[in-house]
A and B are shown apart, each in its own frame.
Chain A
Amino acid sequence: MTETLTTVRPTGGTLIEQFEFGLDAPICLTWELTYACNLSCNHCLSSSGRRDPNELTTKQCEDIIDELQRMQVFYVNIGGGEPTIRPDFWHLLDYAIAHEVGIKFSTNGSRITPEKARLLAATDYVDVQVSLDGATAQVNDPLRGEGSFDMALKALTNLAEAGFKDAKISVVVTRDNVHQLDAFKTLADQFGATLRLTRLRPSGRGADIWDQLHPTAEQQRELYDWLLLNGEGVLTGDSFFHLAAYGEAMPGLNLCGAGRVVCLIDPIGDVYACPFAIHDRFKAGNVLDGNGFQEVWQESELFLELRSPQTGGACSSCSAYDSCRGGCMAAKFFTGLPLDGPDPECVKGHSEDALLDPNRVIPLASQDHSRASARKNSGPIPITISRQVPARFCDEDPLTESAALNSVTT
């Protein structure tokens, strides 16, 4: 559908250049099935908690799957909320797989019983990510909730015992757990699982605590060094490409894929540029309007805008611009920084002044499904939460490991 693009795509060039002009269908589509969750993690990027009464029906979900099959979207990342809370979750999983749409789903593990684990082990084309934000209960539970560490470990045990191969342990890297990277790796090895690290982004409830929880500058360096040493065998999607400004390229595409190769479908069918960009500013349309998802993906004004050449703004004079490209759009937006300037975690420190600016305006959330107890808008990190959340950590990010650039470059 190149005709629909307003700018002319160059022929040849690098893959990244091609991706900047968008693809006919996303590579990394995240679909949040429900806002309902039995946890209420402090950093939940979708502010989940309560179910939305307008969540898509089973039939509507099946229609989306049919459309994804037609568009050849080979797999989707399913999250929420806690996706397994939907009574039709297991049905939709089967339906998707029968329609050549593979599933990777993120779960807090609460419902991965031995029986479900056996079912998953017997199913092809399904990948399970269990979320964990500390390698010990002591670090994990304050963030994800009392008992959530044990819950995740129980799920991993059930999966391993059922013979499920290569589950993922999905960790959002925070100030509190950077020092546990080796421990996470050991834990993953114990379960025959693969460690997946993602970046804490100031989205959803994460916006409230980002200031206190994002890795410090020294920790970012530590993380970078660790990834260079241990990167093989650890998945990061495209999470940390802003760290490429330290010198070495990070795994993945090193590009903000929002609206170009990445997008999100939320539980009511709204389509956003990226799972970390749930805000009206980045809403492209709804799958129930007009001609469905394909039309939104290929023709929405927002996505065409994101695919047109961008300016580097304050970053364009930076020596690292080619690798870092100004970092994460969502991180900038939700910290009130200009979209064409440096990432709030710019490793060269170029956003420090802007972050200290007393006039910085943090955009208000345009939606929130948190349970009343889960949202703390000010004050220190809430430590006491009665129940916690899910958090779907995106894998969503652009290209996950599968897109491991085995690119055939002729």
Chain B
Amino acid sequence: MVELTEILQLSPSVALRPEPFGALAYHFGNRRLTFLKRPELVQVVSSLNGTDPLKDVLQKCQIPEPKWDVFTKAIASLMKADMIHSLSPGKTSQKEPHND
């Protein structure tokens, strides 16, 4: 799970490709392709700049607070897939072994 205070950054190995429904995120390292199904999520993910805590990013993207839970879950699963890294101490995301 990810904390709202964590400082996050999109992995340098990941490229986002805009699509009408949101975006594709492709990880050049583990070659996983993930679909971001909401333009708001794309906005949040591309606003992770490695300096602001997640909470600030959500606010800046004008995501209403009741929805934060959904967004943090999505972010957490992107972290599991090594798409997003945490820069907060002790929170360095673990690289998962991959099999593709």
8 A Cβ contacts from A353-410 to B? 399, 401-410
Least CB distance from B66 to A in Å reads 13
Does chain A have a CB within 8 A of B38?
A: yes
Least CB distance from B29 to A in Å reads 8
Least CB distance from A53 to B in Å reads 35
Least CB distance from A253 to B in Å reads 10
**Inter-subunit contact B99/A166 (CB<8 Å):** yes
Can you list, as one digit per residue, whether each of A200-235 has a CB less than 8 Å from chain B (1) or not (0)? 000000000000000000000000000000000101
**Inter-subunit contact A194/B37 (CB<8 Å):** no
Main secondary structure of the interface of B (DSSP, over half): mixed
Known: A24-B18, A72-B17, A74-B15. A406 touches B34 (CB 8 A): yes
8 A Cβ contacts from B45-100 to A? 70-71, 73-74, 77-78, 81, 99-100
**Inter-subunit contact B100/A15 (CB<8 Å):** no
**Inter-subunit contact B21/A15 (CB<8 Å):** yes
**Inter-subunit contact A401/B74 (CB<8 Å):** no
| Total interface residues in chain A, CB < 8 Å | 32
**Inter-subunit contact B35/A407 (CB<8 Å):** yes
Main secondary structure of the interface of A (DSSP, over half): loop
Least CB distance from B40 to A in Å reads 8
Least CB distance from B51 to A in Å reads 23
Does chain B have a CB within 8 A of A240?
A: no
**Inter-subunit contact A21/B37 (CB<8 Å):** no
**Inter-subunit contact B41/A410 (CB<8 Å):** yes
Known: A194-B99, A408-B77. A74 touches B41 (CB 8 A): no
Interface centre among A21, A166, A408 (most CB of B within 10 A): A408
8 A Cβ contacts from B19-42 to A? 19-21, 24, 26, 28, 31-38, 40-41
**Inter-subunit contact B77/A27 (CB<8 Å):** no
Contact partner of A409 (CB less than 8 A), chosen from B28, B37, B81, B99, is B37
Inside 8 A of B32's CB, which chain A residues have their CB? Answer: 402, 404, 406
List 14 other contacts, CB 8 Å, given A404-B32, A410-B73. Answer: A9-B20, A9-B21, A24-B20, A25-B17, A27-B24, A72-B17, A74-B28, A100-B15, A102-B31, A194-B99, A401-B100, A406-B32, A406-B33, A406-B34
